[in-house]
Chain A
Amino acid sequence: MARPPYHLLLPFFAALVAFWWVPLAEGVKMSLESDTLYGPTRFVGLEHYRALAHDGRFEIALRNTARHAALSIALILPLGLVLALLMRRAAEPAQPFLRFGLLLPALCPPLVLGFLFVLVFSGRYGLLNMAVLTPLGLPPVDWLKDPAVIPLSLVLQAVWRWTGFVTVVMLAGLDGVPRAYVEVARAEGAGPWRILRDVTLPHLRPLLVFCAVMLFLDAFALFSGAYALLGASGGTADAGLLLVGLVYQTAFTYGRFGSAAAMSLSVVPVLALGLVWLLRERRARMVDP
């Protein structure tokens, strides 16, 4: 084995240690110390982690986040795939415009998407109520106050934001489906559904996994959109309480830094599942350089 050019790896790994491993270690230390706001903290061991097991709000945030991830993936992947399949049949000159239209929400800061959502959906004065429901004589719906509707509006926001991006990724993947396979399948009498199921989808599998992992992680990093809709709180009955929001609130509103650190670290094993998923996806060839 030749000696690799370590000097080309060094800058990245130096940054990785300085702004990833060190903070991670700092976080672990923080999570083992008391929530003392002023004065020196003391070592409390696993007390914060034990308290999390009985923390109702943490459980709600975890459940909301997991549900948000599952619903987003379940809606966005099929929708993106269908739109990509349609895009290949669409009129050539229209394609750049359609692509831009679908991608525009991905280019827009999530906070702004949140604002637009608020203005359309919020209370009696929201566009939807003022322009549609009230003129029709229907009672206004309080979209952002009704705990049954809040999770849905967060998912809709994710659909709006990511569907276009997933479509573009799928479109690039569809271009790579070998024509010969499709033609052989067709010659053997396979219909469009069979071709989709047995040729196209297996070929797109790595990309579908990639998009699913991306959406999964995005759900766990989701802050801005929910912040615009509900502030740092979780909304009515904590229906929109997500993990990052709860950590932010615990640390910066209540000053309970130790507990907040324990919260963020306790999801590391969950997120590592995303990694395991990627690792198992051999055909994604992401892990085996």
Chain B
Amino acid sequence: MRSHRARSIGRWAATFVLGGVAALFVFPFAWMLLATFKSNPEIFRLFPLLPGAFPLDHYRALLDGSLLPFTRQLANSLVVASVQTVLVLALTVPAGYVFALHRFRGRRALYGCALFTVVLPQQALALPLFAWIHRLGLYDTLLAVILPGIASGLGVVFFTLVFRRLPPELVALARSEGASEGRVLLTFLPLVRPAVLTFGLIHFILAWHEHLIPLVMTGSAAQKTVPVALASLYGSSVRFPYALLMAGSVLATLPAVLAYALLRRHFHSALGELLA
């Protein structure tokens, strides 16, 4: 048996090492936040790290629409990511339920089809998707950005695993009441709520990050999402204040961080339950 003392030293060492790695990971973000208040020469000096004052000029310049319709683009990103997430959940939760709790002919083949989408990501299909969306007459609309992401094979796999962990007695009981399948699924929803929120969070974040699909599917500034807008800002001029770009980057990072902060508990408990 190790002594209490040795264990406590181990605990401090582990905390210290992890703290170092976490600090290394977080430092650029702190620097990014502080850079939004600095001029270009100040940004590239490490010290002083803290700016003399905290003027909000760069945020204002970004949000007042004189450079680019950034508020509109933030709203676009929010609409795209949330609508896509809701649609993905509406499609994949029922599919996962059926795959987990029903045995039927062709189940494996259909499941294989869903699984195949996991290995061929939409980015690889961006070009034909572009041609297809064009033919549907959806080019340069938000629907063109939302729709390509809704057939999430990953979601089907995730919810199949989730529903398979329900106690079999419970499933038998729910069915013995003679309720329709749709109703049985609805009664189970509260039980799998953490998992639904967790996958919703993961999909929302990935949709919020997506760059290639909105870049290809939209043309006008008013339909762009935040990553595309930021990339165009970055490429626009040689002598522009980096603080502006950093202010945009802070605003682009915030929603995903907030979403995680809100759903943190569900995320870690659902992950633990599913992976343990």
A-side interface residues toward B, CB under 8 Å?
A: 1-5, 7-9, 11-13, 15-16, 18-20, 22-24, 26-27, 30, 83, 86-87, 89-91, 94, 96-112, 115-116, 119-120, 125-127, 130-132, 160, 163-164, 168-169, 172-173, 175-176, 207, 213, 217, 220-221, 223-224, 227-228, 231, 244, 247-248, 251-252, 257, 260-261, 264, 267-268, 271-272, 274-275, 278, 285-289
A274 to B117, CA, bound (A): 11
Residue-wise, chain B 2-24 has the 8 Å CB interface mask toward A (1 for contact) of 00000000111011011101110
A119 to B95, CA, bound (A): 45
Q: When A4-B104, A90-B14 are in contact, do A223 and B123 touch as well, CB less than 8 Å? A: yes
Q: Which residues of B contact A217 (CB under 8 A)?
A: 118-119, 121
CB of B44 within 8 A of CB of A89, answer: no
- Which interface class (under 10, 10 to 19, 20 to 34, 35 or more) fits B? 35 or more
Interface membership of B240, Cβ < 8 A: no
CB of B45 within 8 A of CB of A267, answer: no
Q: How far is the CB of B266 from chain A (nearest CB, A)?
A: 13
CB of B14 within 8 A of CB of A130, answer: no
CB of A111 within 8 A of CB of B230, answer: yes
Q: Choose one: B15, B108, B119; the contact of A274 (CB below 8 Å).
A: B119
**Total residue contacts A-B, CB cutoff 8 A:** 282
Q: Which 8 A-B pairs have the closest CB atoms?
A: A176-B276, A101-B22, A27-B128, A131-B46, A5-B181, A8-B94, A89-B14, A224-B211
Besides A3-B104, A24-B128, A101-B23, 10 other A-B contacts (C-beta < 8 A) = A12-B156, A19-B151, A23-B128, A24-B120, A98-B22, A111-B209, A176-B275, A247-B127, A272-B120, A286-B161
Secondary structure at the A interface, as helix, strand, loop or mixed, is helix
Q: Which residues of A contact B268 (CB under 8 A)?
A: 99, 168, 172
Q: How far is the CB of A56 from chain B (nearest CB, A)?
A: 21
CB of A86 within 8 A of CB of B18, answer: yes
Closest to B94 in A: A8
Q: Which residues of A contact B150 (CB under 8 A)?
A: 15, 19
Q: When A83-B21, A125-B44 are in contact, do A23 and B115 touch as well, CB less than 8 Å? A: no
Closest to A127 in B: B44
Q: Which residues of B contact A2 (CB under 8 A)?
A: 102, 104
A280 to B147, CA, bound (A): 32
Q: When A89-B14, A90-B11, A119-B242 are in contact, do A271 and B32 touch as well, CB less than 8 Å? A: no
Candidate in A96, A130, A248, A289 with the most chain B CB atoms within 10 angstroms = A289
Q: Which residues of B contact A13 (CB under 8 A)?
A: 95, 110, 113
CB of B276 within 8 A of CB of A116, answer: no
Q: Which residues of B contact A224 (CB under 8 A)?
A: 209, 211-212, 227
CB of B26 within 8 A of CB of A287, answer: no
Q: Choose one: B43, B116, B164, B209; the contact of A119 (CB below 8 Å).
A: B43
Closest to A88 in B: B14
Interface membership of B222, Cβ < 8 A: no
Q: Choose one: A91, A110, A207; the contact of B12 (CB below 8 Å).
A: A91
CB of B182 within 8 A of CB of A5, answer: yes
CB of A26 within 8 A of CB of B110, answer: no
Residue-wise, chain B 214-225 has the 8 Å CB interface mask toward A (1 for contact) of 001000000000
Interface membership of B83, Cβ < 8 A: no
B140-166 interface (Cβ within 8 A of A): 147-148, 150-151, 153, 156-157, 160-161, 164
Q: How far is the CB of B50 from chain A (nearest CB, A)?
A: 15
CB of B231 within 8 A of CB of A228, answer: yes
Q: How far is the CB of B226 from chain A (nearest CB, A)?
A: 7
A261 to B212, CA, bound (A): 15
CB of B11 within 8 A of CB of A11, answer: no
Q: How far is the CB of B142 from chain A (nearest CB, A)?
A: 15
Q: Choose one: B15, B121, B234, B274; the contact of A90 (CB below 8 Å).
A: B15
Closest to A5 in B: B181
Q: Choose one: B31, B148, B249, B276; the contact of A112 (CB below 8 Å).
A: B249
Interface membership of B171, Cβ < 8 A: no
A125 to B45, CA, bound (A): 10
CB of A102 within 8 A of CB of B21, answer: yes
Q: How far is the CB of B172 from chain A (nearest CB, A)?
A: 13
CB of B28 within 8 A of CB of A120, answer: yes
CB of B161 within 8 A of CB of A285, answer: yes
| Segment with Cβ contacts to A, from B56-64, B189-197, B253-261 | B253-261
CB of B216 within 8 A of CB of A252, answer: yes
Q: How far is the CB of B11 from chain A (nearest CB, A)?
A: 5
Closest to A99 in B: B268
Q: How far is the CB of B209 from chain A (nearest CB, A)?
A: 5
Closest to A126 in B: B44
A227 to B215, CA, bound (A): 12
CB of B151 within 8 A of CB of A15, answer: yes
CB of B272 within 8 A of CB of A175, answer: yes
Q: How far is the CB of B115 from chain A (nearest CB, A)?
A: 6
> Can you list 22 A-B contacts with CB-CB less than 8 angstroms, sorted by A residue number?
A8-B181, A8-B185, A11-B90, A19-B147, A22-B132, A89-B10, A101-B25, A105-B25, A107-B256, A112-B230, A115-B230, A119-B43, A169-B271, A169-B275, A172-B274, A207-B275, A220-B123, A224-B227, A247-B127, A267-B124, A275-B116, A275-B119
